[in-house]
Amino acid sequence: MTTRTGSEADVEQLLDVFKALANPVRLQVLQWLREPERHFPVERAIADPAEVGVCVSHIQEKLGLAQSTVSAYLAVLQRAGLVRATRVGKWTHYRRDEARIAELVDLLGRTL
């Protein structure tokens, strides 16, 4: 069994992030989530978009893509550690994981 060194695991994490951000739609969603009040209808939100996140249905509506496609894109961003999901009733809300993004930016600076 092969064990990865710390730097190999770091590179693996960064590759996951780069793969997630390589898709222009996923990158756009992550940018929108940086300022959710500016990009999504706050008056239709059932929870605070800054604290809880944006409902997947609002993201889907803005993108004009199938709900399953949007959910798959958000799952990739979540696995890469870029967003967090929160359930509110039957709806899933997504928001950026700012602490994790800052860690990844720091890791990138130390790795390259």
Task: Identify the band that residue 6 occupies on the pLDDT scale cut at 50, 70 and 90.
Answer: low
**Contact criterion met (CB below 8 Å) for 43 and 55:** no
Q: What is the pTM of this model?
A: 0.86
39 lies in some domain: yes
Give the total number of structural domains in the chain. Answer: 1
Q: Which amino acid is at 71?
A: S
Phi and psi angles of residue 82, each rounded to the nearest 5 degrees, phi first: -95, -25
What pLDDT does 72 receive? 96
What pLDDT does 87 receive? 92
- Check whether 107 has a pLDDT greater than 60: yes
Q: What is the mean pLDDT of the chain?
A: 89
CATH number, position 19: 1.10.10.10
Token pair of 93 as six digits:
């809300």
Counting DSSP H helices and E strands in the chain, the numbers are: 6, 3
Q: Which residue shows structure tokens 């994981």?
A: 97
Which residues constitute the domain of residue 89?
6-111
104 lies in some domain: yes
The DSSP code for 45 is -
1 lies in some domain: no
Question: For residue 16, with 0-12 CB atoms within 10 Å meaning exposed, 13-18 middle and 19 or more buried, which class applies?
Answer: middle
Give the pLDDT confidence of 33-82 residue by residue, as tens digits. Answer: 999 989 987 777 677 777 889 999 999 999 999 999 999 999 999 999 99
